[in-house]
Amino acid sequence: MTLHLKVVTSNPGKVREYQAALAEYGVEMEHVHVPYDEVQTSYLEEVVDKGLKALYAQGLRNFMIDDSGLFINGLKGFPGVWSAYAQKTLGNPGILKLMENIKDRAAVFKCCIGACISDQTIIVTGVCPGLITQKEAGTDGFGYDPIFSPGMDGGPTFAMIPIAEKNQYSHRGIAIRMLIDELKARKFI
Ligand code: IMP
């Protein structure tokens, strides 16, 4: 039995990433762009849960969505659920400026994936702890990659390591593996 899953996103790169991870389980992904309101809340899980319900109410079936963000300790969790907006407006230089006199550099990347399949709901969250660097480093990746060093030893940033290695411990890589485990446990794959 082939599982057909619609990925609701405005980002085609994400669809390719999910397709690459789920292809070996015979999952067919379809990119759909259906606008829906994202609720204002500090929790990714709530954004995803409300998003699933809104899309279900619009009649969508067998679909998935995701939301991710960077939560910085020293900034009380900012940019968090506002990460996309903060990346567009402040960018990495703006975040480093906010961090100028802050000693606590700890941060976590979180990725929450939600799926609605045969009227069942799955919500999983992958978390990757790390440190905010003093300056940008590396040219690979996107978004906050040049200022985020995974782990607590101040090693290379996400923008300095190959994508396959990043996926081994990134928030999205972990969330995708959790999703696969759930799909297996519920016999969808
Ligand atoms: P989204 O909700 O997955 O689109 O992510 C929100 C924002 O977080 C994006 O605009 C990115 O700037 C940032 N972000 C999410 N995942 C990553 C990542 O793996 N590396 C760097 N930035 C990321």
The predicted-structure confidence for 113-134, as pLDDT tens digits, reads as follows 999 999 899 999 999 999 999 9
Residue 49: active-site member = no
Report whether residue 90 contacts ligand 1, using a CB cutoff of 6 Å.
no
pLDDT score of 104: 98
The predicted-structure confidence for 41-93, as pLDDT tens digits, reads as follows 989 999 999 999 999 999 999 999 999 999 999 999 999 999 999 999 999 99
Atom of ligand 1 nearest to the CA of 171: 19
Confidence at 141, pLDDT banded by 50, 70, 90: confident
The domains located in the chain, with CATH, are: 3-185 (3.90.950.10)
pLDDT score of 164: 85
CB 162 within 8 A of CB 140: yes
pLDDT score of 77: 97
The predicted-structure confidence for 151-185, as pLDDT tens digits, reads as follows 999 999 999 999 889 989 999 999 999 999 999 99
pLDDT score of 133: 98
CA distances from 68 to 84, 91, 124, 148, 187 (A): 9, 16, 12, 14, 27
Atom of ligand 1 nearest to the CA of 84: 10
CB atoms inside a 10 Å sphere around CB 13: 8
Question: How high does pLDDT run on average in the chain?
Answer: 95
pLDDT score of 37: 83
Residue 40 has pLDDT above 90, yes or no: no
CB 62 within 8 A of CB 118: yes
Percent of the chain at pLDDT above 90? 84
Residue 1 has pLDDT above 80, yes or no: no
Report whether residue 125 contacts ligand 1, using a CB cutoff of 6 Å.
no
**Residue 104 Cα to ligand 1 middle (Å):** 22
| Angle CA 33–43–130, to nearest 5 | 100
Which of the listed residues 45, 144, 149 should we mutate to test ligand 1's pocket, taking the one with most ligand atoms within 8 A of CB? 144
**Residue 187 Cα to ligand 1 middle (Å):** 30
Closest CA to 63 of 3, 132, 21: 3
CB 31 within 8 A of CB 23: no
Report whether residue 157 contacts ligand 1, using a CB cutoff of 6 Å.
no
Q: Which residue has the tokens 């940019």?
A: 79
